[in-house]
A = this chain, B = another copy of it.
Amino acid sequence: EDLTVDETEPLTDLSPDEYVNTAFKDAFPIHYESYLRNMGNGRPPVSKFIPDYEPYLPILFAGFPFEQEYNTTRGHPYAVEDVLSIARIGDRSIGSCMTCKSSTVTPLLKEFGDDYWSANFRGDIVPRMEELAAVGASEELGEFGHVSIGCSDCHDPVTMELRITRPSLTHALARQGIDVTEATRNEMRTYVCAQCHVEYYFEPELEKVRFPWDYGTKPEEMLHYFETTAIEEGFDYDYIHAVSGAPILKAQHPEYEMWSYGSHGRAEVSCADCHMPFERRDDRRKISSHFWASPLENIETSCRTCHSDKTERYLIDRVGDIQERHLEAVHEAQDLTVEAHYFVNRMITAGAPDDKIEQAQQYVREGQWYTDIIAAENSDGFHNPQGSMDTLRMASDASNNAIKLAIEELSNLNVDLGELRTEIENVKEAVLNEEDPFEKHTHATNNFFPAQN
């Protein structure tokens, strides 16, 4: 019997609308078993605000919910749990926030139609999601694992073909002239991930999740989109920065975008090639691993399928080298961008001309975009070593432009730059020394640097 993915013959007895992960267990016990590994050690996520990670994020995000809580990731089955408990969700949060978390999104979209996106998260979406989650719970997946990112998000439940369930991707690719229904199997092995591991924003009309790819997927091309098409269509910014008053674009997890023009993306090595390598379970049967994690945990099956002439040690060292150089540059760009925000704050308090303030804010917007898009990418530079470094270079340049303009204006106003620099150090210290991650952002502004939002 031929189970070609290309043919659309039924393979399971499941309903075409099945969305519960546990419903797939009987038909695919070893895939389900592999999926269970995503439960990891069960420990809660860790704040990214601690000194070991990116201690100045609460400053960079000042004025946006991200200032409150931003954590390391966990496995896909935790996505619903984590979005429900994150402090970033407020009373006005919308349905779009569920889009990349739950397998109930397909039924929700069907039920709510275009009202799904802007529906109230806690008032409308969560209650209905919980009703849909009333069936199929299983202890081994925790409270919401059975409706967290799962089988039906990537597979047609009947034929098990890979499929795209998030209209945001289909729409964004279409605008690039790509018809996703024509995608090859190799491309689908990336596109299923690109439903979520991408930069997004909420378009203002219906608050739909959109991807800014009209001009390409490089950070500078996405910025161009935000500066032209997005503004024309009514989207100006995600938030006004509390320190600089600049209109900021929040950047999110551009794994697909950075991959797309990196060494492996150009070589058409798909996400699944590295993150879902073959694994042998249950004696001789090979399956695509459904444990999405660092491929460095599986170098033998992942990297060494292609790099069989290299040792595991060598590959770990190469990745380490690339990431170390990358992270140092990320931290330097973050430091400069933080500095830029405070210089602009001082321009405002010192009464610099409005047009100069606006110009400086525009530079900060740019600097923060380039810094954040790279800091938010989750491979620490590995997916695209040269491209990421180029973007960090642009980040430094833009933030330096803001600082240069500020120095000029502040000097004209006889502002004491020495004092300013000391106050910046003080603010950074205060953020660093605050023990409670949830309180860190409260130190980003103070009497010397009053909030601008």
Confirm or deny: A434 has a beta carbon within 8 angstroms of a beta carbon on chain B: no
- With CB as the reference atom, state the residue of chain B lying closest to A317: B266
Given the complex, which residues of B lie within 8 Å of A336, measured CB to CB? 397
Confirm or deny: A227 has a beta carbon within 8 angstroms of a beta carbon on chain B: no
C-alpha gap A390/B392 in the complex (Å): 9
Give the interface of A toward B (CB within 8 A): 261, 266-267, 310, 318, 321-322, 325-326, 329, 332, 336, 381, 385-387, 389-390, 392-393, 396-397, 400, 403-404, 407-408, 411-412, 417
C-alpha gap A261/B332 in the complex (Å): 21
Given the complex, which residues of B lie within 8 Å of A393, measured CB to CB? 329, 389, 392-393, 396
Interchain CB contact under 8 A, B329 and A390: yes
Q: Which residue in B266, B326, B400, B412 is a CB contact (below 8 Å) of A321? A: B266
Interchain CB contact under 8 A, A400 and B408: no
Q: Which residue in B267, B321, B389, B404 is a CB contact (below 8 Å) of A389? A: B389
Interchain CB contact under 8 A, A322 and B386: yes
A386-B386, A387-B325 known; A318 vs B266 contact (CB < 8 Å) = yes
Given the complex, which residues of B lie within 8 Å of A310, measured CB to CB? 267
- Expressed in whole angstroms, the minimum distance between the Cβ of A255 and any Cβ of chain B is 18
Given the complex, which residues of B lie within 8 Å of A321, measured CB to CB? 261, 266
Interchain CB contact under 8 A, A408 and B417: yes
Given the complex, which residues of B lie within 8 Å of A386, measured CB to CB? 322, 325-326, 381, 385-386, 389
Given the complex, which residues of B lie within 8 Å of A408, measured CB to CB? 407, 411, 417
Given the complex, which residues of B lie within 8 Å of A412, measured CB to CB? 411
C-alpha gap A408/B322 in the complex (Å): 36
- With CB as the reference atom, state the residue of chain B lying closest to A400: B400
- Expressed in whole angstroms, the minimum distance between the Cβ of A275 and any Cβ of chain B is 21
